[in-house]
Every structure is written in structure tokens, then in C-alpha cells.
Amino acid sequence: MNAAVAGAMPDHSANARRGVTLEARIKAQAYGLGFDLVGLTRTGPAPTAETFDEWLRAGHAGEMHYLERGAEKRRDSRLAVDGALSAIVVAMSYGGREPSGPVARYARGADYHDVMAERLRALHACVENWVGAPIRGKAYVDTGPILERDLARRAGLGWFGKNTMLINRGIGSFFFLGVLLIEIELEVDAPFSTTHCGTCTRCLDACPTDALLERGVLDARRCISYLTIELKGAIPLELRDLIGDRLYGCDICQDVCPWNDRFARGLPDDSPYRPREALANRDARTLARELLGMTDEEFSRAFKGSPMKRAKLRGLKRNSAVVLGNVGTPEDVDALTRALDDPEPQVREHAAWALERCVTLDPADER
């Protein structure tokens, strides 16, 4: 801790004597900024780091080689920010009560990286103002070698479900995690030391591609979210029909979770995660046809500030072809035929696969 911050610490004690602690102010401000959960924990060695390393060595990360970077920081969160002593861990709901659809709920609105990072930086500024001195710190929202779930469990926010998601008894699992590492020492919350999945295996049983190998072990190479977002090449033939109408991401293992059935939250009218115009009221076939016909300029305008840009237009066109191959009808033949002239080879290949399936269907068939 730098000298300026250390010199300001007596003010914290004065606040405490008046019944207002810095920790209480941090939590109140976090809720005021729109976060749904907040907890405090120490930085330090990550208990799950070795498990994560084993997962990487097993090849379960597929092409996500970026996950291998920053291994030392991942193993010890003190190394991520020089002098960081505490982690402020927050969660923000993205609407588990919203209807299912071809795009996973988290990706329908604004990019959560930007939304949450901006709010965490605002929280950081508040702490500096209360302390009266600059404080080293950094916000992480799925953007660095930080095991956010590990910190969240240690901060008391929930347990690891059998589907690998962090689950909270009050709001389920449809939420983003963010972390503000900061150099001041805070009173920490009790870690979450129990699990509450019991004998339930709904998430494991429901995964259409059998990506959940066992409790808490996900083979990303079979996960629909990985296949439609992170995978840059061709989707394996044996998995294409299992993707169904899911164009970007997948919520199945969360949809079937009893904790979400009971406690998942809807979206307020002013939520940044409400569906953008390009996605609102679009079924899978309509959206797939629209994406197949988009130019790069149209895509940039329609999806500005969207997490869906991660897959790029070529990836979304590839996914769209797979969706039409699974749920399309002969009415979609024209869109797929035009896609045979796409400049991207993988779009052409997936369109040809889908076209062969669509031309054999009767329009009245229920698929």
C-alpha cells in the first residue's frame, strides 16, 4: 500500500466508529451502479488453478489458446495488480426470465465487457474519493488471467454448479462476473463453502452435444457456445445437427437448472442487455436468412457494441447456414444458394451442407 493510502486509513476507522465502514460504502455503491451481487475477498493463490491447468492439458479448451497466457497471474491474483490486497467481486444479471431463442441471452444487448468495466472503474473512482488518495487497482471483466469464479466463491457469491456455472441461491446463474482488484485491505466476506445441486443432473442430461463430461467438467470442443463463437474453422459434421436452431451461444444447461427456474431475474426496462433491434422478435430462420444476406457494413451498423461481433460476420454466416440446415425448409433454398457465392470458403461449405438438407424437405414438415 502506498504512503498516501496508508496515511488515509485513520479516516476509515473514524467512519467505522460512526457506523459507516468503507466496506459498507463499497457495497452500497456497487448496488447503486446496477450490480446485483457484491462480495469482498483477499487476493492470493487460487485454489482452482491446478484444476484449470489440468483442464487445459487435457485439451478441453480447444482452440482457445489465449487461456494459456498469464498462467502465473492466474495462479495468484496478487500478481495481476502490483500491491493488490483485496478483490471486489460483482455480479450483474442479464435476464434469465427472457424467452429462449437462437441467440444466448447474454449476447442480445450491449457488450457486457464494456458495461461492467465502466461501472467498476466508476466504483474505483468512488473508493479513491472516499480514501482521499490515488489507489492502484484494475477492473477485470472476462478480459485477463483472473479466475473470476474462484474469487466469486471466496467472496461468498455462490457455488460451482455441475454445469460449471457459478450459482447463487438468490438469483440463479444468469449473471456476469466482474472483479476490481485494489491495493487496500478490506474486511472480507465469508466464502461460500457448500454446494446445493444435490443429486440433480438436469444440466448434464440436457446438453445435446454431451459437452458436460461429468460434474463440473466441460469439454469446450463439444459445447455449442464454443462451436458457434470461439471455433474459427468448420464445425465438425457430427455436431452440426445437434446445434439445432442455436445461432450464437447456448443456454440449455442454465435453462434446465432448478435454481434458475425459481430465482432467475427478468430485465428492467433500462437494462443495457435488452435485445437490440437487429435481434428483437426474430426467430431462428428469419435471423439466419438476414445474417446470410448482410454486408460487412450492414453488420457493423446493426451490431455495433455487441458481443456477437466476436464471432465476426463470417462466423455468424457459417452458423446461420447450420441453423437453416437444421430447421430450414425449401423456402430457405434461395438464401443458401446465394451463400454459395460468399467470399469465405467456410460459409460456402456450410451453405452447401445445409442446402443438401433443405432441398429434400417438404415445407409442411415439422422438424
In angstroms, the CA 199 to CA 182 distance is 39
Of the residues 11, 76, 114, 142, only one is catalytic, namely 142
**219 included as an active-site residue:** no
SS3 of 329-356 = CHHHHHHHHHHCCCCCHHHHHHHHHHHH
CA dist 215 → 191, 206, 212, 224 (Å)? 21, 13, 7, 18
**CA angle in degrees (0–180, nearest 5) for 329-333-337:** 155
In angstroms, the CA 330 to CA 355 distance is 9
217-218/175-182 β-pairing: unpaired
**Residue 93 β-bridge partners:** 175
In angstroms, the CA 139 to CA 289 distance is 38
Provide the grid cell at 72.
Answer: 502465473
Provide the grid cell at 48.
Answer: 482452482
In angstroms, the CA 29 to CA 40 distance is 13
Q: Which of these, 311, 316, 313, 319, lies nearest to 240 by C-alpha position?
A: 319
In angstroms, the CA 68 to CA 170 distance is 33
What is the chain's Cα-based Rg? 23
Output DSSP code: residue 40: E
Q: Which of these, 351, 353, 273, 346, lies nearest to 312 by C-alpha position?
A: 346
Contact assessment for residue 237 and residue 183, using Cβ atoms and an 8 Å cutoff: no
- Scan for cell 442455436, then name that residue: 246
Provide the grid cell at 303.
Answer: 451490431
Catalytically annotated residues: 142
